[in-house]
Structure 1
């Protein structure tokens, strides 16, 4: 870090952010001692910061009082951010309605400082289905959501996204030539249809939601599972149309336009 950057550092704020980021990776919570050891800080430093974070509601203590974990306050605040809030508010009731028609779960993902985050999810109405939890961080280059978020950017923007991206749990290191090939294919088709790179027997369907500037603000995804019993449900080609239509509807509600709408084919 150069001298100019050092001049404007806020050590107390950085300690608080270090705690929040560490707890975000430990859903079961950590003790004060574990936090201090992981962050190479003194227990007294950690205690003062934890007390403030608990008082402000960002961190909660376990019933026994010896473990600390993140509250839902950070997530709640993120939902107030106007672009996210508008998209989710419009999307969720429609997503829930269409899961009953498609008999398939769906979720919505957005990019946040290089992370690919699931911001909304709707479960299948059946006895089983695959639904990602809200707040889950998924891969950039090995998921339909990540690929579609990257596909409609300029080469410079893709470079920047890759540079900022932190690999999700289980995500392999990006192979750039292969990644670029996927993005070119998505730009041609207008959406992604791929065998899941994280689970066997799942076909990922992912559709862009464009903002008024022509940028992809969100991705509507469906982890399609094929049924082999006697229940008659829509086939994959019909599910593609169901969720692609919803993505285009959300684009229109957001004031954007989908340049691929007329040319898309399953």
Structure 2
């Protein structure tokens, strides 16, 4: 009897199954794998693996390293980030963001990483009368926002290079505009677990942010608190940084991250 659903074996596509097996095999190796190792691990003929790798490479789903080994390509990273962004954020994220807003009275942003930039996914207005011009869907270069810097600190090197390729924007005298200075700044963020935007994106405005991770220990995004400089003295930043870290941990856990 023929199955009437996509799970039936009659609907399987052998070439696609082999392609998926190759992608999953490469996902297990952080240093990449030569074609011979892929063939051996999957018991597939060299001609089949070569043809599939060439196709995947043409679409940037895999890439060939200088040493001849194959690794996963950035197209998979982009698709993965898009799939996570399609999560119903109202259910998964917003309650945590609103709680953070209620505790601090500050404006709360949730951003994600996409193609070397920070993208705003959610914005919860603060309880005061001040309204910031940020908006859902806004894209920013990573060096001029707390969320951007929090994400950049934990990106793999190839993604960090994509970020640097976008350029270093200077919005105020406090903006960090050189790669060396920015890399040194990222070391501090890794040490503290949160980032600070001290009038780097806009004069008179301070922000603090902490990174969010997925089940694959990849950076998904970051959450931030934004307020006027006078409402957030430097001596209070560690306190708010810890609040952000705790909230970020809860959201990361909802995405499958295990510390």
Dislocated runs of 4+, deviation >6 Å: 166-169
How many residues are treated as equivalent by the alignment? 174
| Inter-CA distance 110–242: structure 2 relative to 1 (3 Å threshold) | same
Compared with structure 1, are the counterparts of its residues 255 and 131 closer, same or farther at alpha carbon in structure 2 (3 Å cutoff)? Answer: farther
| 2:63 aligned residue | none
Checking the alignment, whether the CA contact within 8 Å between 2:111 and 2:122 is kept in structure 1 is yes
Give the distance between the partners of 2:206 and 2:194, measured in 1 at CA.
13
Structure 2 segments unaligned to the other structure (5+ residues): 1-57, 59-78
Paired residues of 1:148 and 1:207 also in contact (CA < 8 A): yes
Within the candidate set 190, 206, 215, 1:212 is matched to: 215
Distance 1:86 1:166, change over 3 A: farther
Root mean square deviation, CA, Å? 2.9
Q: Tell me the CA shift for residue 96 of structure 1.
A: 1.9
Give the TM-score taking structure 2 as reference length: 0.58
Match of 1:112 among 108, 114, 120: 114
Equivalent residue number for residue 149 of structure 1: 151
For structure 1, which runs of at least 5 residues remain unmatched after alignment? 1-7, 9-77, 229-234, 259-266
Alignment of 1:1-266 (within 5 A): 81-86=82-87, 88-89=89-90, 90-130=92-132, 132-163=134-165, 165=166, 170=171, 174-225=177-228, 236-258=237-259
When residues 215 and 189 of structure 1 are mapped into structure 2, their CA distance, relative to the original with a 3 A threshold, is same
- How far apart are 1:173 and its partner, in Å? 8.6
Please give the alpha-carbon distance, in whole angstroms, between the structure 1 residues aligned to 2:82 and 2:190: 28
CA drift of 1:156 comes to 3.2
TM-fit CA distance, 1:245 = 1.6
CA distance in 1, matches of 2:108, 2:82: 22
Q: Distance in 2 between matches of 1:110 and 1:246?
A: 16
The 2-side partners of 1:96 and 1:216 are apart by 22
* TM-score, reference length from structure 1: 0.57
